[in-house]
Amino acid sequence: HVFRVYLTGGFKRPRELTWVTGVVMAVITVSFGVTDYSLPWDQVGYWAVKIVSGVPAAIPVVGDFMVELLRG
């Protein structure tokens, strides 16, 4: 769906708010899926959170700050 909307230009004016809302909803949905792993706090949950929260470390300049923000 996202690919089709991108190819047809559905993200351009006057629908840019709809596009941003969809992206925000997608990020929230993925975040719920990731945090669901951490709820039992077993080995699978620990390593899932450790790996996912370490991904932003690859971003130059702000990566380390983002990791600290995510891990608390």
Buried b (16+ CB within 10 A) or exposed e, 4-30: eeeeeeebeeeeeeeeeebeeeeeeee
Residue range 6-25, pLDDT digits in tens: 898 888 888 889 889 998 99
My answer on whether 26 and 44 are in the same domain is no
Domain assignment of residue 24, given as a range: 1-30
My answer on whether 2 and 24 are in the same domain is yes
Q: Within a domain: residue 56?
A: yes
Residue range 28-43, pLDDT digits in tens: 998 888 788 788 888 9
Domain count, the chain: 2
Q: Within a domain: residue 44?
A: yes
pTM: 0.62
My answer on whether 24 and 52 are in the same domain is no
Report how far apart the first and last C-alpha atoms of the chain are (Å, whole number).
Answer: 34
My answer on whether 50 and 71 are in the same domain is yes
Q: Within a domain: residue 35?
A: no
